[in-house]
Amino acid sequence: MNNLTRRSAGLAALAGLAGGTATQAAPGKGGASLPPIVIYHLEGRRSERVVWLMEELGFPYRLEFKRGDLQGSMDLIREFSPIVPMAPTVKYGDQILVESGAILELIVNRHAPGRLQPGLSSRDYPHYLMWMHFAEGSLASRLFSDYRAWMARPPKERSRMVDSEAVVEFAEAFLREHPWFGGAAFSAADIMMHFPLRVATDLNLVDRAQFPKVAEWKARVEARPAYRRMLAKARPDGMIGSLPPLPQHAPSGPRPAQPR
């Protein structure tokens, strides 16, 4: 596909196939005014986090993707940002941004003070910040490295290292004590944690039945009106192009003892 055809595909996606535009809303009280936001998106992938956040906040955005066509959506991203084509890629005013966690923190901190995160001096804030970063830094990274390794060679026993089961168990243990990943209230940390915790069970990396608190939390966040609006706009035909689940997850239970 040449550049002109790609551009036409992009325009077609914008005109007809791409998701909707949220209603205009003023940024949170005391927040800076929001520049135009364009979210380059892949259905069912991490870019949903940004759409979901904007829906929670009632902030305007434009969504760019080719409905039902992950490759076509990827081509739109590549055309816009060839160096590191990833979803999400966000046009924030005239700046191009990647990394969903950074994008969420930027929007919340700069444009929605006091919303979707605990107060800076609250007891919940350190946990909130930890989960904001744990989602990609430790959880998603371990899930996908286990997935690749286990696809190549199914495991016979648990790893001695912190594995998929250990990182999901950490989340389960936290949810035994707190209703949300930001502590007392729903926050951007719940938005960050949703994708990897969904992947953990959808790809059969862990045994769903072993993590009832995660399952109950997942049902609660997925019932939120903003999540439902995100689905309608950003995943209108349900999940497409899923990776195949593992035929079996690693045996569960205690990790083998560390070698001396």
Ligand X SMILES: N[C@@H](CCC(=O)N[C@@H](CS)C(=O)NCC(=O)O)C(=O)O
Distance CA 212, CA 215 (A): 5
Does 136 participate in binding ligand X (rule CB under 6 A)?
Answer: yes
Q: One-letter amino acid identity for 158?
A: R
Give the pair of three-digit tokens for residue 88: 């999400």
Residues 168-207 as b or e (16 or more Cβ within 10 Å = b): bbebbebbeebebbbbeebbbbbbbbbbbbbbbbebbbbe
* Sole window of 14-22, 27-35, 94-102, 115-123 interacting with ligand X (rule: CB under 6 A): 94-102
Question: Of 42, 104, 226, 246, which lies in the binding site for ligand X, with binding defined by CB under 6 A?
Answer: 42
Please report whether residue 46 would count as binding ligand X according to CB under 6 A. Answer: yes
86 part of the interface to ligand X, by CB under 6 A: yes
Question: Residue 74 CB, nearest distance to ligand X (Å)?
Answer: 7
- Cβ proximity to ligand X: between 48 and 124 the closer is 48
Name the DSSP letter for residue 91. E
**Least separation, in Å, of the C-beta of 155 and ligand X?**
24
Which residue from 10, 27, 28, 88 is in contact with ligand X, where contact means CB under 6 A?
Answer: 88
Give exposure, 102-112, as e/b (b: 16+ Cβ within 10 Å).
ebbbebbeebb
Measured from the CB atom, the residue of 103 and 206 that comes closer to ligand X is: 103
Asked if residue 215 binds ligand X (CB under 6 A), the reply is: no
Dihedrals φ, ψ of 92, to 5°?
Answer: -115, 100
Q: How far is CA 223 from CA 178, 218, 228, in A?
A: 18, 9, 7
Identify which range of 27-35, 92-100, 105-113, 183-191 contacts ligand X by CB under 6 A: 92-100
97 touching ligand X, by CB under 6 A: no
Tell me which residue has its CB nearest to ligand X: 45
- The DSSP letter of residue 45 is S
9, 39, 100, 249: residue in contact with ligand X (rule CB under 6 A): 100
Residue 87 is a binding residue for ligand X (CB under 6 A)? yes
- Under the binding rule (CB under 6 A), the answer on residue 53 touching ligand X is no
Beta bridge partners of 39: 63, 90
Q: In angstroms, what is the minimal distance from the CB of 24 to ligand X?
A: 26
Residue of the chain from 41, 45, 127, 233 that contacts ligand X (CB under 6 A): 45
Task: Determine if 99 is a binding residue for ligand X (CB under 6 A).
Answer: yes
**Cβ neighbours for 241, distance < 8 A, ≥ 6 positions apart:** 43, 44, 70
Question: What phi-psi label fits residue 114: left (phi over 0), alpha (psi between -120 and 50 degrees) or beta?
Answer: left
By the criterion CB under 6 A, which residues form the site for ligand X? 42, 45-46, 86-88, 98-101, 136
